[in-house]
């Protein structure tokens, strides 16, 4: 089956954009020096990378005459859950991988819930 040229170009460009952002996210995860800066690199691959790949898949399904919007579900789920997992991993970094004196001060009369020794 031959697709129209604009569909081929759109799908190919979206595929290449998604793949390069995914690679950039993993490269940042490997190369960045600090734990907290490593945390922000894979969000690239979670949002832009997989988002572009899903968009490419959606455009492809519309161009081949079998339209489907299932990909939208995966995209929405990833977009909703990525900040939550990032928050949890940041909490692990803060509370398990740092010394007590490096932590920011909690509000007055409060303690860090996971650091009862502060």
Max Cα distance, the chain (Å): 69
Q: What is the DSSP letter of 112?
A: -
Our finding on whether 15 is near another protein (CB under 8 A) is: yes
Dist CA 50 CA 84 (whole Å) = 17
Which residues have a Cβ under 8 Å from the Cβ of 35 and sit 6 or more positions away? 93, 97
- 27 versus 111: smaller Cβ distance to another protein: 27
Positions 28 through 67 that interact with another protein (CB under 8 A) = 29-30, 35, 38-39, 42, 45-46, 49-50, 53-54, 56-57, 60-61, 64, 66
Nearer Cβ to another protein (54/108): 54
Give the C-alpha separation, 58 to 51, whole Å: 10
- How many angstroms separate the Cα of 51 from the Cα of each of 40, 46, 58, 91? 17, 7, 10, 26
**Under the criterion CB under 8 A, does residue 110 sit at the interface with another protein?**
no
Q: Which residues bind another protein (CB under 8 A)?
A: 3, 8-9, 11-12, 15-16, 18-20, 22-23, 25-27, 29-30, 35, 38-39, 42, 45-46, 49-50, 53-54, 56-57, 60-61, 64, 66, 68, 70-71, 73-74, 77-78, 81, 84-85, 88-89, 91-93, 95-97, 114
């Amino acid at each position: 089956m031959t697709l129209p040229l604009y569909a081929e170009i759109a799908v190919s460009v979206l595929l290449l954009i998604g793949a390069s952002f995914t690679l950039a996210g993993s490269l940042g995860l490997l190369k960045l020096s600090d734990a907290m800066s490593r945390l922000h690199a894979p969000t690239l691959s979670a949002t832009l990378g997989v988002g572009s790949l899903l968009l490419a898949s959606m455009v492809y399904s519309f161009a081949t005459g079998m339209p489907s919007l299932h990909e939208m579900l995966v995209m929405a789920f990833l977009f909703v859950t990525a900040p939550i997992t990032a928050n949890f991993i940041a909490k692990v970094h803060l509370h398990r991988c740092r010394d007590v004196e490096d932590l920011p001060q909690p509000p007055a009369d409060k303690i860090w819930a996971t650091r009862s020794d502060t």
